[in-house]
Amino acid sequence: MAVMDTSLPKIDQFLATLDSAVADGSFVRLALRLPFGADETLKSVDVKPATIRGELKLSFTFHHQTRDLVQNHPPAGAIGQLKRLMEKDFRQAFLFTTAFDLQFDSQGKSPRLKHTEPTSKASASLEHDRAKARPIPAAGKAWLTELGVTGADGTVLKAAGDKFRQINRYVEILGPLLKAIPEDRLRRVVDMGSGKGYLTFAVADYLASKCMLSTEVVGVEFREDLVKFCNETAEATGVSNLSFSQGTIESFDSTGADVLIALHACDTATDDAIAKGIAAGSELIVVAPCCHKQIRREIETSNRGTELDFLMKHGIFVERQAEMVTDAMRAMILEHFGYSTKVFEFISDVHTPKNVLIVGTKTKRGKDASQLRKLADAKAFFGIRRHYLEDVVGL
């Protein structure tokens, strides 16, 4: 242990000890507790060492009431950040090293330091576990940089954090479903309403680099500028199993689409996407819907003055009702066409409020007429004349 300069204020002695522990590799972790700062949502902070792209960083996890935020700092910057947190936000700090533990406590009149035996004699693992766990890592992916998700150094840009998590979560769920499909029936994946191509690139990359498959991935998008940008980006970054087709989902020939995916295709565009998957007999249809305007309009207009009027009074309930009814009916129609369905939240609503995923897996060849009877009952109950998906699948 480095000799402490006891003439320094206690906070500086604590931070100097941390600095030495980081430098000699004995630093295990640090915890900030007993919050008193202006941000009442900030409950605690944990800090651990991590090697990120070959460089030692201190990885901070800020535990807020409803979410965790992670920041990685070089050691020098981290010490300054910790000093501010200890002065303004937390009364206690615990430093754990392989040689000793050190506690800083500013609850009394003057701050105190206390040395104790080490809780852990084992060094911290320097592997950056978050990066390791993701199907699409941030580093080393030129396409992520071109799409504005990561900077040139491979770190996720602040404004793109939610998108990065969304596509990773989507691929995390999609991965095992794709692997369950025999290779000869996994020749083509189509992403409907591909936009700037975040998900399309992610799936193409995952299939090529994690599954070692040459499956072709196609993005369908009506905005010409986005299609041009995505095709140029795929070429420039060497994602060779990927292309983008300009046009509407409705007019796209989906023959041979073994897997149909969509992420936030607006309103009935999600229905058009599902219909294209059903028409192609896709093995797998996975959609995260966006807004639910068509059914919302139907529910709103036909329930004024009925026993459901009390719900229609509040926009938020109409919105939620429309979402549930639209997606539950989509699932029924998929079941009718021989798909086993699961509907669930694929990511926390902190990252996107549009967080429901409908997964349809083709399990039967025939049709299940009982689903249409249930659909008719549900439509009658909610006063819905037609679900747009009925029209596009020819029911």
Ligand X SMILES: C[S@@+](CC[C@H](N)C(=O)[O-])C[C@H]1O[C@@H](n2cnc3c(N)ncnc32)[C@H](O)[C@@H]1O
* Nearest CA-CA partner of 259 in 171, 346, 366, 134: 171
CB of 267 to ligand X, least distance (A): 8
* Contact of 350 with 66, CB cutoff 8 Å: yes
CB of 272 to ligand X, least distance (A): 6
356, HSE (Cβ side, Cα atoms, 13 Å): 19
* Nearest CA-CA partner of 277 in 187, 169, 393: 393
Q: With CB under 6 A as the contact rule, which of the stretches 73-81, 191-199, 274-282, 339-347 interacts with ligand X? A: 191-199
* Contact of 155 with 169, CB cutoff 8 Å: no
List the one residue from 49, 137, 193, 289 that touches ligand X (CB under 6 A). 193
CB of 354 to ligand X, least distance (A): 9
Q: Is residue 175 exposed (0-12), middle (13-18) or buried (19+ Cβ within 10 Å)?
A: middle
Other beta carbons within 10 angstroms of residue 318's beta carbon come to: 19
Which of residues 108 and 353 has its CB atom nearest to ligand X in the complex?
353
Q: With CB under 6 A as the contact rule, which of the stretches 192-200, 275-283, 324-332, 381-389 interacts with ligand X? A: 192-200
Q: How many Å apart are CA 186 and CA 188, to the nearest integer?
A: 6
Element (DSSP H or E) covering residue 202: helix 198-205
Q: How many Å apart are CA 360 and CA 239, to the nearest integer?
A: 27
Which of residues 58 and 392 has its CB atom nearest to ligand X in the complex?
392
Q: With CB under 6 A as the contact rule, which of the stretches 16-24, 86-94, 218-226, 382-390 interacts with ligand X? A: 218-226
Strand partners, 219: 191, 244
List the one residue from 75, 161, 195, 383 that touches ligand X (CB under 6 A). 195
List the one residue from 32, 189, 199, 312 that touches ligand X (CB under 6 A). 199
Contact string 247-266 vs ligand X (x = CB under 6 A) = -xx-------------xxxx
CB of 261 to ligand X, least distance (A): 9
391 binds ligand X (CB under 6 A): no
Site for ligand X in 125-184 (CB under 6 A): none
Q: How far, in whole angstroms, is CA 326 from its chain's centroid?
A: 23
Residues that bind ligand X (CB under 6 A): 193-196, 198-199, 220-223, 248-249, 263-266, 269, 272, 290
